Amino acid sequence: MDNSRPLRLSQLDTSALDSALVDKLLFEGLEYGGERADIIMVLGSRKACEYRVPPAAKLLEQGAADKLLFCGGRVQRTKFGEMAEYRSMLAAAQQFGLPMEAICTEERSMNTAENFKFSREILARQIPRGGSVILVTTAYHMRRAIMLARRILPEYRFIPAPADCCSTRRSNWQLTEKGIRTAHAEAEKLAEYARKGYIENIEI
């Protein structure tokens, strides 16, 4: 074997993950740099209303974009009750006093890839082709999300704006079993997606 050849994501040995590599894969180079964009896109989850909407609301209030797109049709048990993800995010937005006319919703998706697939027509109506999108999702999920976004919607420029959750932030994921388990599972998904061709098979 030629050991000088670069290791690709698809070749990641998920049975022997190194903490430094997991940290690099999930978090490195994904900090938000303050860029302005045409729209802020927030991906759905059970706790998106708690962890993802607050930083998105702050970005909107700071003028990072004039519009918000909430994605996610999966019915989940949220802090507002059992409802579709986008509805729980709308409820959170109302609590923040955000202008409802600035928010559009994608209401069909059941997973991250579908968040982007089903947002294509919405984005086409809301922003110009070649426009920019600030992507908000949980920090440990950002790498896979933005790689999917760039594969599925290459006509737009995606800017990462990671949101922190409690146990799997870059600063604390190695401190608890839950954080380690979540981070390692996400690294394994990255490798699986690369093997299946869902995302670019990058060097690691």
H/E stretch holding 134 reads strand 132-136
Beta pairing partners, 134: 40, 159
CA torsion sign for 41, 43, 49, 52 is negative
Tens-binned pLDDT, residue by residue, of the chain (204 aa):
455 678 899 999 988 899 999 999 999 999 999 999 999 999 999 999 999 999 999 999 999 999 999 999 999 999 999 999 999 999 999 999 999 999 999 999 999 999 999 999 999 999 999 999 999 999 999 999 999 999 999 999 999 999 988 889 999 999 999 999 999 999 999 999 999 999 999 998
Which tokens is 39 given?
Answer: 């729209």
Phi-psi region of 141 (alpha: psi -120 to 50; beta: other; left: phi over 0): alpha
Half-sphere exposure of 102 (CA within 13 A, CB side): 20
